[in-house]
């Protein structure tokens, strides 16, 4: 009889220890609701344009990301970009099917710097654009530049955040 109690006690103890070692749903998902995680997926990116502005900031474009959902917004941005030097070629964009993401780096004291929208991920009702920046590997020409990168993703009215 004593053996049976010891066996039951051992089984209960092992079960309790086993359950304590399991992670909760919140620990596994980092506190995000499961329905949010189910809606996380990478977005396809179509290359738009990349390069740098050389107007010493006269274009009036500050560092950061820009989301463009209409031809009017696109025309306004390209007009600013081309106000000093022709920095971007005109290209047709179907705003019924696509959203433009543009990222402008800070104004740099030399050439050789680049910026890239490396990926875009849809997370529920938000989009996160991952930014990668690179510095020159060797001596670079001494000219004021402002690197930029422009991509097109599927049409979306979701809030976009740009992160390094």
Residues 32 and 74 placed together within one structural domain of the fold: no
Residues 88 and 76 placed together within one structural domain of the fold: yes
Residues 11 and 52 placed together within one structural domain of the fold: no
- Strand runs labelled E in the chain: 40-42, 46-53, 64-68, 98-104, 114-123, 126-134, 146-154, 159-163
The pLDDT tens digits for 89-108 are 888 899 999 999 999 999 99
Specify the pTM: 0.75
The pLDDT tens digits for 30-50 are 455 554 556 899 999 999 999
- Of 38-42, 79-83, 113-117, 150-154, the one with minimum mean pLDDT is 38-42
- Show the domain range for 102: 39-163
């Amino acid at each position: 009889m004593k053996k049976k109690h010891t066996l039951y006690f051992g089984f209960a103890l092992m079960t309790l220890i086993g359950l304590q070692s399991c992670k909760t749903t919140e620990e596994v998902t980092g506190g995000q609701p499961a329905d949010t995680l189910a809606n996380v997926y990478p977005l396809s990116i179509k290359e738009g344009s990349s390069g740098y502005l050389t107007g010493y900031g006269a274009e009036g474009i500050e560092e950061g990301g820009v989301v463009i959902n209409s031809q009017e917004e696109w025309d306004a941005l390209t007009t600013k970009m081309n106000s000093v030097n022709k920095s971007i070629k005109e290209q047709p964009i179907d705003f019924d099917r696509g959203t433009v993401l543009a990222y402008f780096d800070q104004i740099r004291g030399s050439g050789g710097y680049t910026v890239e929208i490396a990926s875009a991920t849809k997370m529920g009702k938000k989009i996160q654009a991952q930014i990668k920046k690179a510095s020159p590997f060797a001596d670079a020409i001494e000219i004021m530049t402002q690197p930029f990168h422009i991509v097109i993703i599927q049409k979306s009215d979701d809030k976009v955040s740009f992160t390094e």
